[in-house]
Amino acid sequence: MTHPIITAASDIRSSLKAVADANPTFMTVEEKATALQDLVAAEGQLAELRLRILADAGDLAAETAARDAAGWLAHHTRTRYADARAELRLAAALDRDRPRLVAAMREGSATLAQAQVIDRALNALPPTLPPQTVAEAEEHLVERAREFGPKELGRIGRRILDVVAPEIAEAAEGARLAELEARARDVTRLTMRRLGDGTTRISSVVPDAAATRFATYLEAQANPRRAHAGATTGKDDSPGDVTATAQDPVARLAYPRRMGEALVAFLETVDASQLPIHGGSATTVVVTIPLAALQAELAGAGMVGAGLVPGDDLAGDRISASQARRLACTANIVPAVLGGRSVPLDLGRSRRLFTPTQRLAMAVRDQTCRADGCDVPASWCEAHHLRPWEHGGRTDIDDGALLCSHHHHRVHDTTYLVERLPQGELRFHRRR
C-alpha cells in the first residue's frame, strides 16, 4: 500500500501539471489575489512536510553512506549543501522544540521564511529561561506571523522578552548586546582586491553600529529617485535597475548600484584635513601625471596613496588623464604635475624636519621604502636624512629618502653597514 505522503505528493504534481499551460492573463484581479495567497500558504505547508520528512531521514543517509540527511538531499536534489544544512537544522528544531510553529506551517499560516526567523529569535533567548516562558514567546511570534512578514517578525523577536518576561528583558538585552559587540570587534575585517578589469572588490565585516553610520552617510549621497544617464530611454544594463514606467516615470538605480556610486562620491568629497595624520601629513592621495599627458585628451596617470592592494599586479594604481583632471577639480586630491610648476621643496638647513609637502614629493618619487627589496608603501614610511642632520645634512628631498619603521631603525643601528646603490636604494650588511 502506498504511503499517504507519496500519494499526496503525486496528487500535488498532477494538479500542477493540469494548470501548466493556464494563462493568468485571463484571471480577474480577485482571482489573482486568491491564487497568490493560496499558493504561498501551500508552499508553507509543503515546506513543513518536507522538513518533517528530513528530520526523520537519518536512516536514508545511513543507507547511502551520506554524511547526514542534508548531504543526501543536496546530492540527490541538486540543491546547495549550505541550504540543505540550514533546512536540516530547522527540521530538527521543529521536530524537537517548536510544536506551535509546526502547527502554523501545517495550516498554511506561516511560511518557511517566517519559520526561520521565529526559530532564530527563540534560539537567541537566554538559556536559563524556563520552558513555559519560551513556549509563550513561540506562541506570541506565531500569532504575529499572521500579520507580519519575516523582517518585522525579526524585530519583534529581538524584543520578545518585553512581552513574555519584562522583569528580565532589559538585563538580558544588555548582556546579549555586550556579547554581540565583543564578538563584532573580534571579527571586524576589511579586504580589498583588484579584479584586473578596472574595479576593486571591497569586502568588509564591521559592527552593526558602524554599519548603520556608514549606510547613513552613503544614503545621504544616494537619492533613490535620482535620474541617471540613460534613464530617459529606459536603457540600462545594470542588474536590478528599474526603468521608467507609466506608474513610476522616474527611472531608478538598483539599491546596490546607488550605494556603490554613493561610496565613490563620499570618498571624493570627504574632508582630508579632518582625518588623522598619515604618512607625515593629513591623509592625502597624490595623482602623478606629466604636464603633456595632463593636457592630452587620451593619457594615463598614476596614484600614490594606500599600500599595495592584492591584485595590483593585474591593474595597479592607474587612472585616465580625464579622470585625473576631474579629481583635481572635485575631490580632495593633490595633483603632482611632473614637469610643470611646483611648490618650492628645497629648504636647505632652515628646518630640521621634512615638511608635509616634501613628504608628498618623496612619496611620489620613492613610492615605497627605499631599502633594497622592501615594498612597504610610502604612506607607511618615515622621512630619513641620507646625510645625517648632525653631520651637515640638508632638509631637502635630494638629501631625503623614505624608509619603513623597520629599516629606519636599522639605518641608525651600528650593527649594520649601509650601501647606497646607483638607483638610490639602500642595501644593508651586518658588520662582521
| pLDDT tens-digit map of 331-344 | 455 555 555 444 43
| Least confident among 284-293, 308-317, 375-384 | 308-317
Phi, psi of 67 (to 5 degrees): -60, -40
CA distance 116 to 89: 10
Asked if residue 301 has pLDDT above 80, the reply is no
Nearest in space to 142 (alpha carbons), one of 162, 160, 167: 160
Predicted pLDDT at 237: 41
% of the chain with per-residue pLDDT over 70? 72
* 147 & 233 share domain: no
Asked if residue 261 has pLDDT above 90, the reply is no
Computed over every residue of the chain, the mean pLDDT equals: 79
Which residues form the domain of 382?
356-430
Quote the number of domains for the chain.
4
Q: Is residue 251 part of a domain?
A: yes
Neighbours of 352 (CB within 10 A): 10
Nearest in space to 304 (alpha carbons), one of 328, 286, 318: 286
Q: Are 94 and 102 in contact (CB under 8 A)?
A: yes
Q: Is residue 179 part of a domain?
A: yes
Q: Are 411 and 420 in contact (CB under 8 A)?
A: no
Question: Mean pLDDT throughout 345-369?
Answer: 71
Question: Mean pLDDT throughout 156-185?
Answer: 87
* 104 & 161 share domain: yes
Asked if residue 67 has pLDDT above 80, the reply is yes
| Least confident among 28-32, 55-59, 92-96, 387-391 | 387-391
* 64 & 131 share domain: yes
This prediction's pTM: 0.55
Asked if residue 382 has pLDDT above 90, the reply is no
* 126 & 86 share domain: yes
- Domain's final residue, options 244, 269, 294: 269
More confident: 432 or 224:
432
% of the chain with per-residue pLDDT over 90? 38
Predicted pLDDT at 343: 44
Predicted pLDDT at 234: 39
Predicted pLDDT at 233: 36
Predicted pLDDT at 194: 83
Predicted pLDDT at 192: 85
Asked if residue 107 has pLDDT above 90, the reply is yes
Predicted pLDDT at 242: 53
* 40 & 149 share domain: yes
* 162 & 110 share domain: yes
Q: Is residue 37 part of a domain?
A: yes
Question: Mean pLDDT throughout 5-24?
Answer: 94
Q: Are 397 and 357 in contact (CB under 8 A)?
A: no
Confidence of residue 179 (pLDDT cuts 50, 70, 90): confident
3-state secondary structure the chain: CCCHHHHHHHHHHHHHHHCCCCCHHHCCHHHHHHHHHHHHHHHHHHHHHHHHHHHCCHHHHHHHCCCCHHHHHHHHHCCCHHHHHHHHHHHHHHHHHCHHHHHHHHCCCCCHHHHHHHHHHHHCCCCCCCHHHHHHHHHHHHHHCCCCCHHHHHHHHHCCHHHHCHHHHHHHHHHHHHHHHHHHHHHCEEEEEECCCCCEEEEEECCHHHHHHHHHHHHHHCCCCCCCCCHHHCCCCCCCCECCCCCCCCCECCHHHHHHHHHHHHHHHCCHHHCCEECCEECCEEEEEEHHHHHCCCCEEEEECCCCCCCCCCCCCEEEHHHHHHHHHHCCEEEEEECCCCCCCCCCCCCCCCCHHHHHHHHHHHCECCECCCCCEHHHCEEEECCCHHHCCCCCHHHEEEECHHHHHHHCCCCEEEEECCCCCEEEEECC
Predicted pLDDT at 349: 42
| Least confident among 145-149, 191-195, 267-271 | 267-271
* 247 & 131 share domain: no
| Least confident among 123-127, 194-198, 286-290 | 286-290
Phi, psi of 40 (to 5 degrees): -65, -40
Q: Are 367 and 378 in contact (CB under 8 A)?
A: yes
Predicted pLDDT at 322: 59
* 83 & 181 share domain: yes
The x, y and z cell numbers of residue 193, run together, are 582586491
Asked if residue 388 has pLDDT above 90, the reply is no
Asked if residue 350 has pLDDT above 50, the reply is no
Q: Is residue 294 part of a domain?
A: yes
Q: What are residue 202's DSSP bridge partners?
A: 192
Predicted pLDDT at 291: 57
Predicted pLDDT at 245: 56
Asked if residue 189 has pLDDT above 60, the reply is yes
* 69 & 130 share domain: yes
Question: Mean pLDDT throughout 106-134?
Answer: 94
Q: Is residue 396 part of a domain?
A: yes
More confident: 390 or 146:
146
Q: Is residue 197 part of a domain?
A: no
Asked if residue 241 has pLDDT above 70, the reply is no
CA distance 221 to 262: 5
Asked if residue 228 has pLDDT above 50, the reply is no
Task: Sort 44 into a burial class: Cβ within 10 Å, 0-12 / 13-18 / 19+.
Answer: buried
| Least confident among 21-35, 218-232, 349-363 | 218-232
* 99 & 53 share domain: yes
More confident: 253 or 89:
89
Q: Is residue 198 part of a domain?
A: no
Residue 104: C-alpha distances to residues 87, 100, 139, 257, 353 (Å): 17, 6, 10, 38, 74
- Domain's final residue, options 269, 291, 314: 269
- Domain's final residue, options 291, 312, 338: 338
Asked if residue 240 has pLDDT above 70, the reply is no
Asked if residue 415 has pLDDT above 50, the reply is yes
More confident: 101 or 328:
101
Predicted pLDDT at 64: 84
More confident: 1 or 123:
123
Task: Sort 306 into a burial class: Cβ within 10 Å, 0-12 / 13-18 / 19+.
Answer: middle
Asked if residue 91 has pLDDT above 80, the reply is yes
Confidence of residue 48 (pLDDT cuts 50, 70, 90): very high
Question: Mean pLDDT throughout 12-39?
Answer: 95
Q: Is residue 201 part of a domain?
A: no
* 172 & 116 share domain: yes
Question: Mean pLDDT throughout 78-107?
Answer: 95
* 129 & 228 share domain: no
Nearest in space to 345 (alpha carbons), one of 422, 399, 285: 399
